């Protein structure tokens, strides 16, 4: 018997209200009963996305919603600018390539946030750019980008701004309308505390013009179908019924707490985690743009990063993430988003200290937990 602590940047732990909702008997989706639930979910999503516009619910993982953005906004031979500062930024370029879209890559050093000025320059240099693809929190590096500033530079250009907020929405601030984000993408299994399986996508009037003009082949992910159905509080295909029922529970919880309070809680957990890493002598992977939802820290050179993650999971039931691609075994990533609280953070740090000690890393045991507790006590 083992209690599991899930501290990965997706999936994240599920609140009891979600588990309960997921276990209810299924109902049919073309019923007044489900329609009332869908209506509530659609309204609640507007609050979380901070938008007055539509938020469509797709039965897919987050990447499905990313693909929906690409095929609905662009046609083959169109030009897009893809901000690429990690594995998830790269996904925008790969999706464009799959549909014959000319992707201009804005390469950002892994661990750094993109410079809005750089986006401005690229847009001025190439008026053919129709879409700028960005990421709120680049989960592979822990970096958070300044979407508000990016919104300011894209707003008055011909281009549409798309933000992958799969990691971070509902946990850190993202004002879809006020920051001029034309399309915001999210998924269910990160800040939104649900199992994987739902994709979300918002759309501004500026984005909608491109959606109507796109000649890309699309069927399941055709947002014109989604909009037509949404107008009648319906979905074009069978929705993920139980996930949407659970989504309603989450939306109720988020509304009850209020977004502002939730953002403050995440900032505090991140501050505590960053303080702990510093106290343990583990350098943050991003010096100045570390997000409030996932902390990436460099593994000391003498320590095998993959073994560290594996031992924490297999010997103690504490699951964190290692590095992806070029960061494999070089960083650890600990998430603190969604249904995670102070003592989950403490458990993660405590386990990290224990295993680091066993692996021969030299530091004063307890320093990390102490530093985190000092932040929590403030």
Rule CB under 6 A: which residues touch ligand PLP? 9-10, 61-63, 88, 135, 137, 139, 164, 166-167, 187, 196
What minimum distance in Å lies between the beta carbon of 275 and ligand PLP? 24
What minimum distance in Å lies between the beta carbon of 111 and ligand PLP? 15
Closer to ligand PLP by CB, 15 or 196: give it: 196
- Asked if 276 and 372 count as a contact pair (C-beta separation under 8 A), the reply is yes
Closer to ligand PLP by CB, 202 or 311: give it: 202
Tell me how far apart the alpha carbons of residues 184 and 56 are, in angstroms, rounded to a whole number: 10
Tokens of residue 260, six digits: 């502002």
SS3 91: helix
Give, in order, the Cα–Cα distances in Å from 204 to each of 180, 197, 207, 329. Answer: 9, 24, 5, 40
What minimum distance in Å lies between the beta carbon of 353 and ligand PLP? 27
Closer to ligand PLP by CB, 143 or 349: give it: 143
Closer to ligand PLP by CB, 246 or 279: give it: 246
What minimum distance in Å lies between the beta carbon of 312 and ligand PLP? 21
What minimum distance in Å lies between the beta carbon of 88 and ligand PLP? 4
- Asked if 126 and 79 count as a contact pair (C-beta separation under 8 A), the reply is yes
What minimum distance in Å lies between the beta carbon of 62 and ligand PLP? 3
Angle between helices 259-279 and 367-377 (to 10 degrees): 150
Closer to ligand PLP by CB, 68 or 180: give it: 68
For residue 1, count other CB atoms closer than 10 A to its CB. 3
Closer to ligand PLP by CB, 137 or 277: give it: 137
Strand order in the sheet with 129-135: 55-59, 198-202, 183-187, 160-164, 129-135, 79-84, 102-107
Tell the residue number behind the tokens 């109507």, with chain if given: 212
């Amino acid at each position: 018997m083992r209690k599991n602590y899930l501290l990965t940047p997706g999936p994240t732990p599920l609140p009891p209200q979600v588990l309960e909702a997921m276990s209810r008997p299924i109902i049919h989706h073309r019923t007044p009963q489900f329609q009332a639930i869908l209506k509530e979910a659609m309204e609640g999503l507007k609050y979380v996305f901070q938008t007055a516009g539509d938020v469509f619910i797709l039965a897919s993982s987050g990447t499905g919603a990313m693909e929906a953005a690409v095929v609905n906004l662009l046609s083959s031979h169109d030009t897009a600018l893809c901000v690429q500062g990690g594995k998830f930024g790269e996904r925008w370029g790969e999706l464009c390539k799959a549909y014959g879209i000319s992707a201009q890559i804005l390469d950002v050093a892994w661990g750094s946030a993109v410079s809005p000025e750089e986006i401005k320059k690229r847009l001025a240099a190439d008026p053919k750019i129709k879409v700028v693809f960005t990421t709120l929190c680049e989960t592979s590096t822990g970096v958070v980008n300044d979407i508000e500033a990016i919104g300011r530079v894209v707003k008055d250009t011909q281009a549409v701004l798309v933000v992958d907020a799969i990691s971070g929405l509902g946990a850190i601030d993202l004002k879809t309308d006020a920051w001029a984000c034309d399309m915001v993408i999210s998924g269910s299994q990160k800040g939104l505390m649900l199992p994987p399986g739902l994709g979300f996508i918002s759309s501004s009037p500026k984005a909608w013009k491109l959606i109507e003009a796109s000649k890309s082949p699309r069927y399941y992910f055709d947002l014109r179908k989604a909009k037509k159905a949404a107008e009648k509080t319906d979905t074009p295909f069978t929705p993920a019924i139980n996930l949407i029922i659970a989504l309603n529970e989450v939306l109720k919880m988020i509304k009850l707490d209020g977004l502002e309070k939730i953002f403050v809680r995440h900032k505090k957990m991140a501050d505590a985690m960053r303080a702990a890493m510093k106290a343990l002598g583990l350098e943050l992977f991003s010096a100045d743009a570390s997000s409030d939802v996932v902390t990436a820290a460099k593994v000391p050179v003498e320590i095998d990063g993959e073994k560290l993650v594996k031992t924490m999971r297999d010997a103690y039931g504490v699951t964190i993430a290692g590095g992806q691609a070029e960061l494999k075994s070089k960083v650890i990533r600990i998430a603190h988003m969604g249904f995670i609280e102070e003592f989950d953070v403490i458990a993660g740090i405590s386990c990290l200290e224990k295993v680091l000690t066993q692996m021969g890393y030299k530091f004063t045991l307890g320093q990390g937990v102490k530093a985190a507790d000092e932040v929590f006590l403030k």
